[in-house]
Chains A and B, each alone.
Chain A
Amino acid sequence: MVDHHTHPASSGSGHPPAIELREISKTFGTVRANKAISMAIGKGAIHGIVGENGAGKSTLMNILYGLHRADSGDILIDGQITPIHSSADAIRAGIGMVHQHFMLVPNFTVLENVMLGSEGSPMLKPGVGETRALLKTLGEEFDMHVDPDALIEDLPVGLQQRVEIIKAVKGGARILILDEPTGVLTPGEAESLFKILRRMKQDGVTVILITHKLSEIMAITDTVTVIRGGEVVGHRKTADTNPEELAELMVGRKVLLRVDRGAARPGAVLLEADGLECHAADGRPLLHDIDFQIRAGEILGIAGVAGNGQTELLEVLSGLRPVDKGRLVVMNRTVTRQSRTDPEQMRQAHVGHIPEDRHRHGLVLAFEARENAVLGFHKSSVTGEGALIDQQAMTAHCLDLMREFDVRPPNPNLSGRNFSGGNQQKLVIAREIDKRPRVLIVGQPTRGVDIGAIEFIHKQLIRLRDEGCAILLVSVELEEILGLSDRIMVMNAGRQVGIVPCEEADEQTLGLMMAGIRGSDAA
């Protein structure tokens, strides 16, 4: 429960900062993830932390939350040196954390998830009552209502995250850490998250927010710290800075926030969907009557609120999910319910796939980078021609990709799990683009990726388009869709609402279409 009494230390003027970090350092092997990082955050402030992928943001927050132990340095809470050696210590010190990857039990209800770990007595009944009351008060206090009896797996991501926040603050946390909370949210969900955060701020809760979206930093934070290569390169009052300055601080050079592209020169149709349908195991329709064509040298963007069939569309197009009705024509291969395909055949047909979920599909986290760099291509020449996998060829291939796509650290023997999220993504993108696919299926290419890398990835996609690749791009970022696509298809509830040429699209028309309202669209 969030308690309301004022801490003696913070009453009166000249109170100490809610959190102060002094000279925090942390080394992993030879990587110095944090180098003497210091910062102070006032009580009730919303403080942003920005930096490139691998800058050390998550490491720093994991230290503050007791998941890693710093090699040196101090953590001060309300002016007191507070050793934090475990998350239990952190919770005792009033710190709550929402991780980028949710830690909920999918087939438990909201109530059961919130109660988890604080059941109280051997019998569940009293705990259930208390938790129900807690959900109600928190819901009213911070305007974050969730149905206590809904199953987690049935909730949209935004609400699941709300449950994570409730779990983080239920013990009375006065400091809330959010590590890239908006990466998976739709703009609407992000807006309601910010509303909650503003309410918490009014209540005196201190919030630390890690994000790669500078617009969010500008919109909601009071102060911001920029980290580069494990070091603080600047503290700013949000009111005194702008996205360009922050971007330059982060990357160390000027960054194009929107990539230039010439007009498309479409060629032959390479990918065509014709009355495409697919169903869930229980017969529920997931995709309904999808029709589109993509030509060589063209990007078709798929816009829509997450969970409206985009995932299934990506799965069907890449051969992961069978076609149940209609047909799919990939170059000159026809795929229907009868003539099935699989990911191997699609790959052989030069269809590349950058999957939406890099941890689930894109990488084997336990594998070394060089093994991940041949995932899906282990039978091709990148692993050599002989009967055995050519180790040198595999390593050289990985080094090439790392050099060309600036994957950091450029160590082919580091296991996938030890790269930061953005660098994992760059490795996946490098692997797929490097094979010069004729058709590329792309899901959320820049989720969790820093602005420098977004610029780079966008340039690569445009270059691939200009070389004659047909690209299908799914993204929940409207800005990304508008910035890259030549035509935009909007999806709602597994159906296509319409296809509009890029010139005629703006956030507003797309927004209406995403809600299922058909505009006066042509084509």
Chain B
Amino acid sequence: MTAPPPLPKWADLFVLPVINLLVAFFICGLIILALGENPISALVVMVKGAFVYPGSLGYTLYYTTNFIFTALAVAIAFHAMMFNIGGEGQAALGGLGGGLVCLWLAPSLPAGIVLPLAILGAAAFGAAWGVVPGYLQARRGSHIVITTIMFNFIAASLMVWLLGGPLLQQGQQSPQTEAFEPAGQMPKMHDLLGGLGIETTSSPLNLSFVLALLVLVGFWVLIWRTRLGYEIRTVGHNPDAAHYAGINVPRTIIVAMAIAGGLAGLMSINELQGVQHRVILDFTAGYGFTGIAVALMGRNHPIGIFLASLLFGALYQGGSELDFEFQSITRDMVLLIQGMIILFSGALAYMFNPPLARFIARVAAKRLEARHV
């Protein structure tokens, strides 16, 4: 096979994902057609359900927030060439850390102190859950994919034990803690906007969304502007060259995994401090895994991750609307659409790379020719 010419960066970041998405939607359209429904009206319902109906945008952005955190947790590890499958466990532990802070401090201290500490607690517990597999990989050579998966199971069991025992709410049967006092609750966006005189429909969207946007910017600065980011990328691309350059490779891997765990841990702020207002079981609900696909689709870049998170948020929200409006389209259909998008944007992300690269190269060559003549 002739090696395809390299794809320009802009095409890799923007054109390719759009092509993948269109293909995924096209195939889903065919399936909907086969079910006897009109794909166009299904699409309209999805878009309306995700962005237009009152409150829908809030729901979409609320889901988006979860994806941003879990996808960043995958992305930072990926820059160090580590495959972090442990988002679920790291997020669960983050929930524990943030939850403990709120249970302990919210009764006595104001939100302005409790919430920042809860954020730190969630990040710290998540980080700790990322550091262990990082350490085992860097110093002991245990494969990170295996250990992070195992740590998901350990985290799940730990949470079952804690919520069913030591942390169980008095006189309760379901495995959950007591509710956080108001000082341990993230302000809702519609309340905040209402305070500014902007009326919006109530939705679970809370201040964590703003936190997610800040973290996106911070991620970009970290990876592309700081010396630590340079070290992480060097280790990811060429560990031998990193060693040559005086970079401590194991330490860098451990630090990257700590940051990854911390980012995943922040997802719990949106779910628990933002909506549930208590620590519950299984609040991670697969976001840690879907985050892998979001990171892949977003090319491990904050802008890409934001867009991909928004897309998945819209799918989650618009998907439930589909389920609601159409007889023959069930919840499973929505899962299928998500699956298609993950398949084409994640697993088959580079399927259309060679033809697209050739096409762009040909156009560029023609232009150059024209200039030289």
A: which residues have CB within 8 A of B?
A: 27-30, 66-69, 71, 85-87, 318, 320, 342-347, 353, 355, 360-367, 371, 374-376, 378-379, 383, 387-389, 391, 418
Contacts and interface: CB of A to CB of B under 8 A. Distances in A.
Interface stretch (B87-95, B242-250, B268-276): B242-250
A169 B109 CA distance: 79
Contacts of A86: 1-2
Provide the main secondary structure of the chain B interface.
Answer: helix
Nearest to A391: B225
Nearest to B364: A29
Nearest to A417: B6
Interface residues of B, number: 26
B27 interface: no
Contact of B245 (A30, A87, A378): A378
A87 B3 CA distance: 10
B237 A366 contact: yes
30 contacts: A66-B2, A68-B2, A69-B2, A71-B365, A85-B2, A86-B2, A320-B243, A320-B244, A342-B246, A344-B246, A345-B246, A346-B246, A353-B244, A360-B238, A361-B240, A363-B238, A363-B241, A364-B237, A364-B241, A366-B238, A375-B244, A375-B245, A376-B246, A378-B230, A379-B227, A383-B227, A388-B221, A388-B225, A389-B230, A391-B225
- The interface centre, meaning the residue of B231, B234, B241 with most chain A CB atoms within 10 A of its CB, is B241
Contacts of A28: 5
Contact of A27 (B2, B241, B365): B365
Given A29-B364, A67-B2, A379-B227, A343 B246 contact: yes
Nearest to B246: A344
Contacts of A87: 1
| In the A-B complex, the 4 residue pairs with the closest CB atoms | A344-B246, A376-B245, A361-B244, A343-B246
Contacts of A387: 226
B216 to A, nearest CB: 17
Contact of A68 (B3, B226, B230): B3
Nearest to A66: B2
Given A67-B2, A68-B2, A365-B237, A389 B244 contact: no
Interface string B186-226: 00000000000000000000000000000000000100011
Provide the main secondary structure of the chain A interface.
Answer: loop
A30 B364 CA distance: 9
Nearest to B8: A29
Contact of A378 (B227, B248, B368): B227
Nearest to B231: A378
B3 A371 contact: no
B16 to A, nearest CB: 18
Contacts of A365: 237-238
B225 A389 contact: yes
A487 to B, nearest CB: 27
Nearest to B221: A388
A85 B2 CA distance: 6
A439 B225 CA distance: 31
Contact of A362 (B2, B230, B241, B247): B241
B238 to A, nearest CB: 5
Given A27-B365, A69-B2, A86-B2, A343 B245 contact: yes
A426 B227 CA distance: 25
